Structure 1
Amino acid sequence: MTQDQLSPVNLRTIDLRGTNHTYAQLRTIVPRQSSEYVGNAAKTVERIIAGVRERGAQYLRELSAQFDQVEQGALRVPQSAIDEAVASLTPEVRAGLEVAIERTRTFARVQRPADARVEVAPGATLVNRWTPVCRAGVYVPGGLAVYPSSVVMNTVPAQAAGVESIVLCTPPQKEFGGMPHPTILAAAGLLGISEVWAIGGAQALAAMAYGVADGDDYLESVDTITGPGNIFVALAKRALQGVVGVDGEAGTTEIAVIADDTATPAFVAADLISQAEHDPNAGSVLITHSQQLAESVRAEITAQTAATKHSERVRTALEGVQSGVILTDSLEASVLVADAYAAEHLEIHTENAADVASQVRNAGAIFIGSYSPVPLGDYAAGSNHVLPTSGTAAFASGLNTTVFMKAVQLIEYSKDALAEIGDSIVALAEEEDLPAHGQAITARTR
C-alpha cells in the first residue's frame, strides 16, 4: 500500500454553525465544480456541435480517433454484433439485467399520466391528451466504467411512453475493435433496440439532434434526447435544448447525505465513496449537525478509500472543491442546506428518515434509511438513475415516462357555447388592439 493510500483523505469542511444564511446565500456556498472547468467545457462543446453539423460522419470519426483511440469504419453497429452480445451474456449478468428491466418497467408504467377531460360550460369541452414523441435518442456513456444499466434506465421509460422509434448512441471501445462494450449491446438487444451507433460524448448528442449520413446508413434526427454523461454531455444538452427536447442535465454524478448521530459511519462513508468512484469530478457531500458523526465518517472514508479498487480516482473526487462536509446547527438547518444543494442523489440517515425526506423539496431522488443506498437505485430498485445534477434538481426532474411525452390540448365548443362567451372575447380582443380576433368570433355568432 502506498503512502498516498495510507494518508487521510482531505475532505474539506464548510462550517455553517452559528450562522444564519438564506436559501439563496446557501446556493452560493455549497460545493460545486469550479466555474473555470465548466466554462472551458462549454467552449469545447460548442465547437463539437458546430463540427458535427458542418462535417458530419468524417468529423465523428476524427473525434473517435482523438478521444477513444479508435479508427472507425461504419458508425452504425450491425445487428449481428447485438445478437452475438446477447448470446454471450453470462447467466448472472443476464438475470441482473432482466430484474432491472422488470422493476424499472413496473415503475415506468405507473408514471404514464392519464388524459384529462372537463366540460367548463355546457357544450364547452377541453381535453388534455398525452402523446409520445415519434422518435427518441438515448445516450449511454462509456469512459471510466461500463453502463448497461443506463440502457435500461433510458429505454424502458421511452417504451412505457409508447415511443415507436428509439436510437441508442454509446462510445466505441478500442478493446472491442471499435464496437461498443458488448454488455451495453446485449442490454440493447434484450430491450429490442436494433438501431445502435458507436458514437460517444457531446458529438453523439449533436448527431442525434441534427441527423448524420454515413454511406448507406442514416441516423435520422430525434425529437427527444436523454441519458447521463460527463460535463460535456450535460452542456451539450443545454446547447441543444430547443432543437430537441432533453431530460435535464444529468452530468457528472453527485451524492449528498443528511445524517445525525444515529447514522452508521461505515454506511455513510461507503455511500460517499460509491459515487466518488464514478469520476474524479464526482461530488460527495455530507451534511450533518453531529461533529462526532462527521469525524467518524472521515476516519471510515480514509480506511475504505485505501481498500477500494479505484482509490486514486475516489481520493481525487473526495478532495475536490465539489465535495466536502457541511456542519450545521440542527437537522432543520441540514434540510435547508440539502435543498440549496439540490442533490442528484440524496440519502437520509437519521431518526424518522421518512419524515425528514418529506421535508425535502429539491433532489433528483431521495434514498430513505440505512438500507436504501444509492447503488440500489443505480441498478435495480425500479427507480431511474438518470437524474439532474449541478443543482438543477431545484427545477428539473429525473428521467421518467413523461419526458418522452407531451400534452396536447383539445378544444371543442358548440355554437351556443361560443356565443355565450363571445362578447367577452371580443372585449378582450379590442382591449389588446387585435380587432380581427374579435371578428373571427362575431363571424360565427352574429
Structure 2
Amino acid sequence: MSEYRYKLPDVGEGVVEAEIVEWRIKVGDTVEEDQPILDVMTDKATVEVPCAVNGTVTKIVGEPGDVIPVGTEILFIDTGGAPVPSEQDVPPPPAGEVSSKSETEGGDAKAEPSPPRPAEPATPPASGGRKEVAAPVARAEGDRPLASPAVRQRAMDADIDLATVPGTGPAGRITHTDLDDFIASGGRLAARAGGGGAGRTRRTGVEEQKIIGLRRKIAENMVKAKTTIPHIAYVEEIDLTALEDLRAHLNATKREDQPKLTLIPFLAAALCKALPQTPQANAHYDTEAGVLTKYEGVHLGVATATPNGLMVPTIKHAEALDVWELASELGRLAKAARDGKATKDELSGSTITITSLGAIGGLVTTPVINLPETAIIGVNKMQELPRFDAGGRVVPRKLMNLSSSFDHRIVDGYEAAVLIQNVKGYLENPATLFI
C-alpha cells in the first residue's frame, strides 16, 4: 500500500491555522485529485480545500470546530501504489470568494446527523407474497416499553410517549415500523393532545450546539470589543419628516435603472459630510501599539445579517458617492454577503460602521464597536409621533432615535455629541446633503 499523508495547506497569506468547518468525505471514500474534501475557516472566509491525489481515504484527523495549524497531517490516503506528489506540488486552496456553504443559521453550527436507521428483521412472506404482520403484544400497565436506542431517540424527537405505542416485535418490542404506523394513524397527535390541558403540549426538547466557524469568530470579536473598549453611548432623536418627504419624491420620480432609496444612503451621506469635523471617529485604534490611525476617506461598513452569520461588507470611499450610488453599493454588497460571494476585500477595511435594526423595531440600541474602529452608528425604528411646532400647535412628525457608541479612550463625550448633532442637522435639513 502506498500511503499519502495530506497536510493542511496554506489557506491564505499570513494564516498559520484554520478551523475545520465540515469534512465532505469519510473513511472508505474514493477521492480524486482536485476534489473538494474539506471546508475550513480563517478569519471571515470559508475556504474549500481540494484533494491532492487519487485514492481511498484510510484515516481522517480532526473534527468540525477543531483549530488545526497549517502543515498538520489531517488525511491519510491509500494511492494503490501510484506515485504521490511532493509537498510543494500540493495545490493551494482557491482564494478570493467566501464559500456560500452555511455552517450556521445566521452562523449556527450544523446539528449532528441522526444515526442511520437500522434495518428491521425481514418477515418471511406469506402466501400470495403478502407480508405477514405480527399482532401487538399486550403490555402490562407500568411496564417499560422495549425499544432500541434509535427508536427511543425518534420517539423523543417526535414527542411521543413509547408507552402508548403498540409493539409487534419479540416480547412486544417496538420497531421503527411500529413507530411509523403509530404516527401514520394519527397516534402522534393523540399522544400530544393527551399530554396537557386544552390541547397544549409541554416542550421538553434540549439541544446542545457546538459554536464553530463564523459564529465563534463573532463571539470572540464581541468579547474582545466589550472587554478592551470602554464604550460610551449617545442617543439623539432625529426629525425625519422632511427627509421622508424628499425620499418619497425621489423614489417616485427615479429612473428605472436607479435603486430604491432607503434611509441608510442618506445617513451614510450625512456621516461622510460630518466626519471631517470629528476625524477620531473615523479611525482605527491599535491598543497594543497605542497608535490611532485617522482616515480622510470614509470606508463605511454596514452590518449585514446573512445565513452564515453577521458580516460587515464595506463601501470603500463612501464620501465620493452620491445617494444613488450609495444605495447601489449597499444593495450589491448586501446581496453578495448573503449569497456568500463577497470577497475578502469587500468584507474588510471599514473605518466606521452603521448597523440597523429599525425594520424590526426597537426604540434604542447600544451597538458594539467593530474592532479596531472607534465608532458605530445604530438606526432604530421610525414612528409618527405628536410634537409642538413653532406656533405651539401639536403636529405629527416622523421621528427616529439615532443610537451611537464610541471608544471613550479616543472620543470624548463632547466630541461624540458634536458628531451626532452634525449628522442630525444634515438629516433634518436634507437639502444640505446636496450642497
**TM-score normalised to structure 1 length:** 0.22
Compare CA radii of gyration and give the structure with the larger one: 2
When you count helix as a share of all residues, which structure comes out higher? 1
When you count strand as a share of all residues, which structure comes out higher? 2
**TM-score normalised to structure 2 length:** 0.22
Which structure has more RCO (C-alpha within 8 Å, separation ≥ 6)? 1
